[in-house]
């Protein structure tokens, strides 16, 4: 009798979302407080504080692959991307080697701000943040690029992630 052969397992396609199918983790080497990633009401995943954070404290560094303007243009076409513009030439792609900061959602009334210091993107608290709060930042998308509707739910929501 011929032996039965198992069907070859379907070849897994590379996921579009680097975090698809698994809970992304915070890289604690870059976080200054206890933080965690969890589902967000704003969009997919979000970064949350696990402890109270005072104002004006460094929270986390936005890390990732440093890519050129040309490569940024290519990756920008992806449905989901985690690109942070560092300067006129360089962009940090948080999809590769991201600390978890790449999951921070946009909010029109954010509790964090970003500062670029010597080529590092650092996120600081704008105000006191309570344990359990989702961390957010104003993405300040330019007004001359594709407009993205905002559903952050803040009372002062401008309706768009782009600035007016
Ligand atoms: Zn909004």
CA of 51 to the centre of ligand 1 (A): 25
Domains of the chain: 28-137 (2.170.270.10)
CA of 106 to the centre of ligand 1 (A): 7
CA of 161 to the centre of ligand 1 (A): 6
CA of 55 to the centre of ligand 1 (A): 22
C-alpha triplet 26, 28, 32: angle, nearest 5°: 110
Contact in structure between 154 and 109 (CB atoms under 8 Å): yes
Q: How many C-beta atoms lie closer than 10 Å to residue 130's C-beta?
A: 10
CA of 82 to the centre of ligand 1 (A): 19
Indicate the pTM of the whole model: 0.83
Q: How many C-beta atoms lie closer than 10 Å to residue 116's C-beta?
A: 14
CA of 67 to the centre of ligand 1 (A): 29
Pick from 85, 143, 73: nearest CA to 116: 85
Binned average pLDDT, 10 residues per bin, the chain of 164 residues: 56 56 89 96 92 98 96 86 91 96 96 95 98 96 90 94 92
- According to the model, what pLDDT value does residue 84 have? 93
């Amino acid at each position: 009798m011929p032996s039965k052969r198992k069907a070859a397992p379907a070849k897994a396609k590379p996921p579009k979302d680097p975090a698809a199918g698994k809970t992304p983790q915070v890289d604690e080497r870059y976080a200054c407080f206890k933080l965690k990633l969890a589902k967000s009401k704003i969009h997919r995943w979000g970064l949350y504080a696990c402890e109270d954070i005072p104002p004006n404290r460094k929270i986390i560094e936005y890390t990732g692959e440093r890519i050129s303007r040309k490569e940024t243009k290519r990756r920008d076409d992806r449905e989901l991307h985690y690109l942070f513009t560092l300067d006129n030439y360089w962009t940090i792609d948080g999809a590769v080697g991201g600390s978890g900061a790449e999951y921070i959602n946009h909010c029109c009334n954010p509790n964090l701000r970003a500062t670029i210091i010597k080529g590092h993107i650092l996120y600081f608290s704008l105000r006191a943040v309570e344990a359990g709060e989702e961390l957010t930042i104003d993405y300040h998308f330019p007004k001359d690029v594709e407009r993205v509707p905002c559903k952050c739910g803040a009372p002062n929501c401008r309706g768009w992630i782009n600035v007016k």
